[in-house]
Structure 1
Amino acid sequence: MALTGAASAPPRLAPGGVVTRADALLAALRAAAPDPARLPRDAGALLGERAALAGLRRNGRIAAGGRARLLCAADGWIAVQLARPDDVALLPAWLEVDPARFEGDPWPALAAAVRDRAAVPLVARARWMGLPAAAAGGGSAEGGAPGMDAKPPLAEARRAGDAPPSAAEARPADGAPPRVEAPPALRVTQAGTPRRRHAGPWRVLDLSSLWAGPLATHLLAGLGARVAKVESTARPDGARRGPAAFFDLLQAGKESVALDFRAPAGREQLRRLVAWADLVVESARPRALAQLGLDAEALLAEHPGLSWLSITGYGRPEPGGGWVAFGDDAAVAGGLVARDDDGAPLFCGDAIADPLAGLHAAWAALGALRAGGGRLLDVSLAGVAAEAAAGGVDPRACVVADAGGARVLCAGRSARVAEPRARRPAGRARDLGADTTALLREARA
C-alpha cells in the first residue's frame, strides 16, 4: 500500500483483497511445503520486494519503476509502458506523427498526442504493433473494476492479424469510458497423459524472465523442486541488468543454462532439456515460442507426465496471446488501480500483476506436479489483476497521516502502513551458463 498513490500525499487504499489473496496463496504453499522455512512468510512484503531492493517509491500516475504512465485520452485513461528502446521507436508509427516529436524525453509529446484521441482504438492499435498498453476502465473514487468484458476491446470488430485501426480512428465516439478486460486468471487444460517421470525432486525448466515466472520457480524451489534457468546467450534475462540483490533473491539456488537459440543446435539442446523436465515455465507469447520450434500442446502429447506453465499478459488464445504486457499495464487492464479524489486512476503497487501472477502460477504448478503432470496451465497477468481487484475498496477504511507516516483505520482497528521490505537472498545467482555442459550431459543420459 505504501507504493500506491501520489508521491506528495498519503498512500491510497488498493482495491479488492490484494494482500488477502496473496496471503491465502502463500499460506497454501507453506502448508504444502516439506520445510516451510524455505518459503517467504509475509505475502504483503513479497509484493514490494523489488521496490525495497531498488529504492522505488509511489509516484501517482507514473509507475514506481518509472517506465509506465497513465495518460489522459479524450474519453478515459490509458497506461503505456516504454520498457524497451523498441517501444519508444514505435511511437511515431503508432500515432502517425513526426518522429522528431519524440526526441529526448518522449513522455510530454506522447501525453499531448493522445489527449484528443479515444482510448480503446489507441490501445488496440498499440497492441497490434507490439506496444504494451491498456485502457483503464471507468470507475469511481472507491476504485475497483466496474465493468468486465468477456472479450477484449475491439475483438468483436477486428480479428487477430487484421490491420490495426488508424490513428485517425482513435477519436472519441460517445464519450463512454472503456470497459475493463477480464481474461481468466488461470486456464487449465489436460493436454497430456499424467505419469511420474522419474524418482527424485521435480525438475523445473525455467524459460521465463523478469518477475512473475522467476518468482513462481523460486517458490517451487522452496517446495523442493530442482530448477534450471535457461537463457539465450544473445538476450539473457533483462532482470540481470536490474538490482543484483533482487536477481539473487529470485535466482539463488537455481542452475543456469545458456543456449544459442539462433542456431539449430541450440534449439535442439532446448528440446532435449524439455524432455528432461517435469515442468516447463515460460513467459513468452506463443508465436515467439513457435520460432524456437516449441509447441506446448505437441510437446505435452509427446512427453507423458510433462506439464507446461505459460505466464502471459492476456492468456494464450488470440488475440490476447499476441499482446505484449508488463506488470504495471496488465494491472491497469485488469482494473487493479487506485483512484484519486476525482476518480482518476493511480498505479497500484509496483508492477503488482507480476508478483500476484507468480503466486498464482506456483500454486497451479504445484497442483499439476502432484497430479502427475500432463497439464497446460495458462496464467494471465490481467486476469490475476482483475480477480484481485474485485470488490473495490472497503468503504469503512480510510488512510490518515501522522508523525510516523500513515495509518489505515477500519472498523475501529488501526494499522501502520509499512514501507517496502525484502528478504535477504539465500545466496548469489549462478553465473550465466555455469551449468550448461553438466545439465546437457545429464539430459542426454
Structure 2
Amino acid sequence: MTALLDAVAAAGERLVAASGRRIDFDPRRALSRHDDLTLAAPGEWSPNRHCRMVMCSEGWMAVSLARAEDRELVPAWTGAALDDEPWQAILAAAGGRTADAMVTAAVELHLPVARVGEASPLDPSELGNCAAKDGIVLDLSALWAGPYCGALLAAAGHTVVKVESDGRPDPTRLHTPQLDARLNGAKRRVSAEIDGAELRSMIGQARVLITSARPHALARLGLDEERLFRINPDLLWIAITAHGWRGEAAMRVGFGDDCAAAGGLVRWTEERPQFVGDALADPLTGLTAATLALEALAGQRGGVIDVSLARTAATFAKAMT
C-alpha cells in the first residue's frame, strides 16, 4: 500500500501543478469513499464484497456481481441451473475453462468481468487546438470516478454544474450521502433531460464535458461525438469508461474493483491475486482525468480525453514497479 500511496502522492503533485493553485490533496483520503465507512479488509474479496478473484484452469479473473441483473445472467454465462448459487456456479465453470474464455463469454453478456492484468497503461489522447478559454464544466457522470474528476476541477477554481435527469439520478446521493457531499457539494446541481434540447444548449456553451457512460448509450440519447462537436467545436470531453472509449473495449462494462484487477493493481500472495483497496480504479481515474483536463485547458486544447478505469489502474500499477 505504501508504493500505491507514493504513486498517488506524485499524481497529486502533478494535479496541483496543472491547476496553478493550491489544492488540499490527501493521498490516503483520495482513495477512501468516506471517512466513517467500515468495510472488510481486501483479500480474495473486495472490501465491499461485490467482487471476487476467481481461479480458472489457466489464469485469474475478477468478477463483480453488485447488480441483480448480473447475478441473473450467471446461468447463461456458466451453463448452470437457474436456481444454482451464483458464486458456486462461477467457481465450478471456471475450473474447466481458461480466464480468456470465461472473460470473452462474460463480455458478450455485458458482465463486469476482467482477466487479472489484461489492461495496458493509458495512451495519450490526440487533442486539437481550440480558441475557447473559459466556460463551465458540465458533469453528466455518476458514482465515483467522473464526479471525483468534477470535484477536483471545482477545487481548481472551475465552475462545475452537475446535471441529473429526474429519471436517471446519481445513486450516490441516495446510498452514500457523505460521499455525495464530498464529490458534488461544490457543484451547482441542475435537473435536465439527458436527451433534451436544454442539455444540448448547455453543452454548446460549456468548455468541459464529463461523462461516464459507454459511447453507444450516449449516442442513443443524441450525445455522440459528431453532434456535440458540431454544436461546440472547442469542447473538451472527458470520456470515462471501464475499458476504453473506442473499439470493442467501448462495449465492455466494469466497476472499480474488477477494473483495478484488470490493470494489475493487485498484490500476489502465494501466487494468488488479492485486492489492495476499495474500488481503487475509481478514485485513480477521477484524479487522472482531472489532471489531464487541467493540462489540456492550460494548453487550450479540445477533443476527447479517453480515460478508462482499467488502463488507469494499469498506469498506476506500472508506476509502482
TM over 0.5: yes
**Aligned ranges for residues 114-129 of structure 1 at < 5 Å?**
114-129=94-109
Give 1:351 shift.
0.8
What's 1:188 paired with?
A: 125
Do 1:300 and 1:307's aligned partners in 2 also have CA atoms closer than 8 Å?
A: no
What's 1:369 paired with?
A: 297
**Aligned ranges for residues 241-320 of structure 1 at < 5 Å?**
241-261=174-194, 266-320=195-249
| TM-score, normalised by the number of residues in structure 1 | 0.68
* Alignment: residue pair count: 321
Do 2:266 and 2:273's aligned partners in 1 also have CA atoms closer than 8 Å?
A: yes
Pick the aligned partner of 2:41 from 58, 66, 69.
Answer: 58
Do 2:7 and 2:320's aligned partners in 1 also have CA atoms closer than 8 Å?
A: no
Give 1:118 shift.
1.5
Give 1:361 shift.
0.4
- Asked whether 1:234 is paired with 2:175, we answer no
CA distance in structure 1 between the partners assigned to 2:190 and 2:61 by the alignment = 38
What's 1:92 paired with?
A: 75
What's 2:90 paired with?
A: 110
Q: Tell me which protein shows more helix as a share of its residues.
A: 2
Give 1:296 shift.
2.3
CA distance in structure 1 between the partners assigned to 2:101 and 2:11 by the alignment = 36
Give 1:93 shift.
1.1
CA distance in structure 1 between the partners assigned to 2:89 and 2:77 by the alignment = 13
CA distance in structure 2 between the partners assigned to 1:121 and 1:128 by the alignment = 11
| TM-score, normalised by the number of residues in structure 2 | 0.93
CA distance in structure 2 between the partners assigned to 1:96 and 1:391 by the alignment = 40
Distance change (3 Å), C-alpha of 1:391 and 1:303: closer
Give 1:373 shift.
3.7
Percent identity, please.
38
**Aligned ranges for residues 384-403 of structure 1 at < 5 Å?**
384-390=312-318
Residue by residue, what CA displacement relative to the aligned partner does 1:304-335 show, whole Å, maximum 9, x if unpaired? 32111101111112110110011111111111
Distance change (3 Å), C-alpha of 1:56 and 1:309: same
Give 1:78 shift.
1.1
Do 2:281 and 2:313's aligned partners in 1 also have CA atoms closer than 8 Å?
A: yes
Give 1:208 shift.
0.8
SS at match of 1:384: helix
Give 1:209 shift.
0.9
Give 1:268 shift.
1.7
Do 1:34 and 1:224's aligned partners in 2 also have CA atoms closer than 8 Å?
A: no
Do 2:61 and 2:115's aligned partners in 1 also have CA atoms closer than 8 Å?
A: yes
Unaligned regions of 5+ residues in structure 2, if any? none
Do 1:62 and 1:69's aligned partners in 2 also have CA atoms closer than 8 Å?
A: yes
- Asked whether 1:360 is paired with 2:293, we answer no
Amino acid at match of 1:42: D
Distance change (3 Å), C-alpha of 1:186 and 1:246: farther
Do 1:212 and 1:355's aligned partners in 2 also have CA atoms closer than 8 Å?
A: yes
What's 1:382 paired with?
A: 310
Distance change (3 Å), C-alpha of 1:186 and 1:310: farther
CA distance in structure 1 between the partners assigned to 2:96 and 2:161 by the alignment = 49
**Aligned ranges for residues 35-54 of structure 1 at < 5 Å?**
35-36=21-22, 39-47=23-31, 49-50=32-33, 52-54=35-37
Do 1:40 and 1:46's aligned partners in 2 also have CA atoms closer than 8 Å?
A: no
114-123 or 276-285: which moved more?
114-123
SS at match of 1:45: helix
Do 1:204 and 1:278's aligned partners in 2 also have CA atoms closer than 8 Å?
A: yes
Give 1:119 shift.
1.0
Amino acid at match of 2:214: R
Residue by residue, what CA displacement relative to the aligned partner does 1:356-404 show, whole Å, maximum 9, x if unpaired? 11111001101222222422100121111112112666xxxxxxxxxxx
Give 1:54 shift.
1.9
Distance change (3 Å), C-alpha of 1:391 and 1:222: closer
Give 1:343 shift.
1.2
CA distance in structure 2 between the partners assigned to 1:111 and 1:319 by the alignment = 27
Larger Rg: 1
CA RMSD across the alignment: 2.0
Do 1:296 and 1:308's aligned partners in 2 also have CA atoms closer than 8 Å?
A: no
Unaligned regions of 5+ residues in structure 1, if any? 2-12, 138-179, 394-445
SS at match of 1:358: helix
What's 1:208 paired with?
A: 141
Residue by residue, what CA displacement relative to the aligned partner does 1:28-47 show, whole Å, maximum 9, x if unpaired? 222344652xx333213311
